[in-house]
Amino acid sequence: MLGNFSYCNPTKLYFGKDAVEYLPKELKKYGKNVLLCYGGGSIKKNGVYDAVVEKLKISGKNIIEDPGVMPNPTAKKLNEGCKLARENNVDLILAVGGGSTCDYAKAVSVSAYCDCDPWKKYYLEMQEPDNRIIPVGCVLTMVGTGSEMNGGSVITNHEQKLKIGHVFGEEVMPKFAILNPEYTFTVPKKQMTAGIYDAFNHICEQYFSGDDDNTSDYISEGLMKSLIESSRKAVVDPQDYEARSNIMWSATWALNTLVAKGKSTDWEVHMIGQAVGAYTDATHGMTLSAVSLPYYRFIMDSGLHKFKRFAVNVWNIDPEGKTDREVADEGLLAMESWMKELGVTLNITDLGVTEDMLEGIADATFLCDGGYKVLTREDVITILKESM
């Protein structure tokens, strides 16, 4: 039975080939100083940087550049961004890039005027902001995290070997997001497939939890089937606009909080994957793909009804004459086959994990209680060993 909930998502989206043309409409709502965040410079090679800067200039904005946002944004980089934002009295943070850049922008937005250590306050103690929050806008160039339409922000602290996400409330969600599928065409294939699996796993984390067989599950199954179909086309032809646009749209809806309604949500795959990332700095989507199957096989018997439904409704497994467990097993085998088609990582050894890291990774893994089985530390180590 669906419980009580409220739903609000304040992010305005502009989608399509001409989406950037709407940027000036949004920019006029904010003051003169804009912090422009981006990564390693690929946006300068593919023309996205020029397109965005042109809109900023015709809108009369003073641009403060904050380049060098890494794939796993660090607490050190966050402190640098906060200093820039404060010193320049920034009125808007504009993130141009993928989910990491969007995550970073939101972290700066709540941290720039924080009167204590933001890492401790937001990521260790999970407090909510009680200070000035700088508005954020996004121009998306890579698909996967859904960060363009949610309040999530993941930061890595290399010194403490921790990678932690904080899901802030609607006041921190981007005010607007520009989504042009063509901006994702130049992303390397490895990053494209990592993003696709990241989006898929976001849906799984919400699907395999809580109240089963509600409306959210039907929506989730449709999104998963869309991602599977479109990903197969995109792997063959990364320039397939229809496939890439469907992937982009599905990834946004995978984590804009809609399909979480009525669900407890799990997130244990993310907790294990993020702990792996804290030790290896590996690509986020690949850490998820490496631990997903061992985790789902470990918990499958505790949520057998849903794993059977997943097999039948998402992977078209014929249940005739089979036990529920046989059907569920076939579903995960079909998922594994698709993951191999994508070329995503299927074991943590390929990400640089060694036997001597397992204890530390287990210690860095937060244990969630929203899924079908609450893990122990020893369970995490078992799953990690199966992931090697």
**Which pLDDT tens digit goes with each residue over 312-360?**
999 999 999 999 999 999 999 999 999 999 999 999 999 999 999 999 9
> Does residue 153 sit in the same domain as residue 223?
no
> Does residue 158 sit in the same domain as residue 230?
no
The model carries a pTM of 0.95
Which of the four pLDDT bands, split at 50, 70 and 90, describes residue 368?
Answer: very high
% of the chain with per-residue pLDDT over 90: 95
> Does residue 264 sit in the same domain as residue 341?
yes
One-letter amino acid of 110: V
> Does residue 223 sit in the same domain as residue 366?
yes
| Contact residues for 60 (Cβ-Cβ < 8 A; gap 6+) | 32
Domain ends where: 145, 165, 184? 184
Give the C-alpha separation, 132 to 371, whole Å: 35
> Does residue 249 sit in the same domain as residue 327?
yes
Q: What is the pLDDT of residues 19-66, one digit of tens each?
A: 999 999 999 999 999 999 999 888 998 999 999 999 999 999 999 999
> Does residue 199 sit in the same domain as residue 64?
no
One-letter amino acid of 298: F
**CATH number of 127's domain:** 3.40.50.1970
Give how far the C-alpha of residue 31 lies from the chain's centroid of Cα atoms, to the nearest Å.
29
Query: What is the domain extent for residue 129?
Result: 12-184
Q: Is the pLDDT of residue 1 over 70?
A: no
Q: Is the pLDDT of residue 124 over 90?
A: yes
Q: How many domains does the chain have?
A: 2
> Does residue 130 sit in the same domain as residue 202?
no
Give the C-alpha separation, 175 to 30, whole Å: 11
Give the C-alpha separation, 281 to 273, whole Å: 11
Give the helix, strand, coil percentages of the chain, each rounded to 5.
55, 10, 35
> Does residue 132 sit in the same domain as residue 166?
yes
Give how far the C-alpha of residue 21 lies from the chain's centroid of Cα atoms, to the nearest Å.
26
> Does residue 93 sit in the same domain as residue 209?
no
Helix axes 241-254, 215-236, angle to 10 degrees: 150
Q: Is the pLDDT of residue 295 over 70?
A: yes
Residues paired with 12 in a beta bridge: 176
> Does residue 77 sit in the same domain as residue 156?
yes
CB distance 104 to 152 below 8 Å: no
CB distance 45 to 14 below 8 Å: no
Which run of H or of E encompasses 63?
Answer: strand 62-66
Domain ends where: 147, 164, 184? 184
> Does residue 199 sit in the same domain as residue 153?
no
